[in-house]
Structure 1
Amino acid sequence: MHVLVVHDYGPLGKILLERLRETSLDISPLLVSDLVSANLSALESWIPEDTDLIVNALWLADPEVAERDPEGTHKAAFSLPLAIAEFARDRGMALFQLSSCYVFDGRKQSGYITSNPGHPVNELGNWQWECEQALRTLLPRHIILRTGWSLSRFIRKVQASTAFDEALSLPGRCIGQPVSMKDLARVITAIIQQLDCGTEVWGTFQYAGAEEISLYE
């Protein structure tokens, strides 16, 4: 199977490529260095014609960044995945797309399941939920993987507050299951290997860390 990994300069792309290259899969990287100026109508020149699976490893997991850059968030979370999905549909390719827990508002008293309808309350979740719905209509052969909180995001917040000797306010009632990038790369790789074995596992999945913890903790 020829797998094209779409990534940016963030660590997930590097970690995922390293892990995938340890498998028997044929892996090609596609670095998107400047998504804002990227021409989405030029996908034919980006994506090799023998690609079987496109993995969009642009992991958007920081709603605060999304609120500061709504235009960039729209392009990364909606426009790019849809352009890839349309391209893949017309050429018999499949798509692996990352989403997040921010498609939900977090008010449910029990855990969310994949069939729960989205109810986003921020810019990031809104476009990810719109993207999910569009992909289900456009491309039957897709994987949508919703993730829990990004662990590295909160580590960066703590480090920044320490560096500037600032107080960091985090709510104790907001419970989640943080995900590390290494663990996410492991899960993505495992799913791709299942696809390579011919397993028809298309659809929406959710993955989060094993331990429930509050933001304060």
Structure 2
Amino acid sequence: MAGAPARPFTILVIGRSGQLATALARSGRAGLHCIGRPDVDFDRPETLAAAFAAHAPALVVNAAAWTAVDAAESDPEGAARANRDGPALLARLCADRGIPLIHVSTDYVFDGSKGAPYVETDPTSPRTVYGRSKAEGERAILAAHDRAIILRTSWVYSPYGRNFVRTMLNAGAKNPVLRVVGDQHGNPTSADDLADAILAIVDTIDRDGWHDAYAGLFHAAGSGDTSWHGLAVAALQEAARAGQPMPEVLAIATADWPTPAARPQDSRLDCTRLHDVFGIRLPWWRDSVARVVARSLETPPA
């Protein structure tokens, strides 16, 4: 008599409405459960404990964060609760159960002055409240749990929700001329590609078990780099191929577009370690933009 089918490797995703959580949920992965507010709230620790009891996860992905970079400047306590204290609690809960945690961090932990792509061993030097809260979150997680994987990513966009690519598509459909910062450089990252990378890591752990080499910091961003201006032009060119008017896109300096939070000028990430340890390399950013724009034009703006 055949035995009962194996139980799926249960993945609990904290965060439900963000770009990454949406991409993970849309993957259709068996055993994956996305939960978020009001059911789970970092400010109410008992909700996290209840979620662990209800789902008995084999692995947790933290896709929840305070990502409003400018708003964080006026609410550092709120940013710290979301990006440091909550993830630290999550790491302790995972450590208590002996299960891995995959946590998503950001290129904003760097100040952008290196002049070359950052590697995981470069010292953090955040210029913003948001970046500082994320760097503090990284340290708290690594101190609390020896089976934590932290993925630093950058410039995340997707076919859903609010993000730079969709903002440019909407603006380009309405305005003949756009002005976009051209002197900041980084790695555009599709949320779908990042979700695929996370699930590939999960597959490796499910198949091979945990190895100490998996722990620690990894950079996980789209292959290749550009400026915000370059990303805008690429997205709008794809939209023009689908029939949307192509505006003139003017490159401007950071000084011409002041924001409450200072953005890093060059936050490119070297993702070699992710490939060396897990065999993962995210797709070329330009190819991913084409896919995301095609889907975005089918999805009403949020």
What TM-score comes out, normalization by structure 1 length? Answer: 0.85
Q: Which is worse superposed, 127-136 or 1-10? A: 1-10
Change (3 A) 1:76 1:59: closer
* Counterpart position of 1:176: 186
* Offset, 1:185: 0.7
Q: How does 1:101-116 map to 2 (within 5 A)?
A: 101-116=107-122
Q: Percent identity?
A: 32
In the alignment, the residues of structure 2 paired with residue 56 and residue 30 of structure 1 have an alpha-carbon distance, to the nearest angstrom, of 10
1:86 aligns with 2:96: no
Give yes or no for contact 2:39–2:47 (8 Å, CA) kept in 1.
no
Aligned to 1:57: 63
Matching residue of 1:122: 128
Change (3 A) 1:33 1:212: same
Instruction: Please report the TM-score for the alignment, with normalisation by the length of structure 2.
Output: 0.63
Aligned to 2:260: none
SS in 2 for 1:5: strand
Which residue, out of 3, 15, 31, partners 2:23? 15
Q: Distance in 2 between matches of 1:211 and 1:159?
A: 21
Opposite residue 9 of structure 1, the aligned amino acid is S
The reply on whether 1:2 has 2:10 as its aligned counterpart is: yes
Q: CA deviation at 1:75?
A: 2.2
Give the match for residue 39 of structure 1.
Answer: 44
Please give the root-mean-square deviation of Cα atoms over the aligned residues, in Å.
2.6
The Cα shift of 1:60 comes to 5.2
Q: 8 Å contact 1:89–1:139 — kept in the other structure?
A: yes
* Mapped partners of 1:192, 1:62: distance in 2: 28
Q: Of 185, 189, 193, which residue of structure 1 is paired with 2:195?
A: 185
The one-letter amino acid of 1:141's match is R
Structure 1 residue 29 and structure 2 residue 29: aligned?
Answer: no
Name the SS of the counterpart of 1:146 in structure 2: strand
- Greater Cα shift, 41-50 or 109-118: 41-50
Query: What SS class does the counterpart of residue 27 from structure 2 fall into?
Result: helix
CA distance in 2, matches of 1:30, 1:54: 11
Q: Which runs of 5+ in 1 are unaligned?
A: none
Deviation at 1:114, TM superposition (A): 0.6
Aligned residue for 1:47, secondary structure, equals helix
Choose from 85, 100, 108 the match for 2:106.
100
For these two proteins, the number of residue pairs brought into alignment is 214
2:204 aligns with 194
Q: Indicate if the aligned counterparts of 1:145 and 1:206 stay in contact, CA closer than 8 A.
A: yes
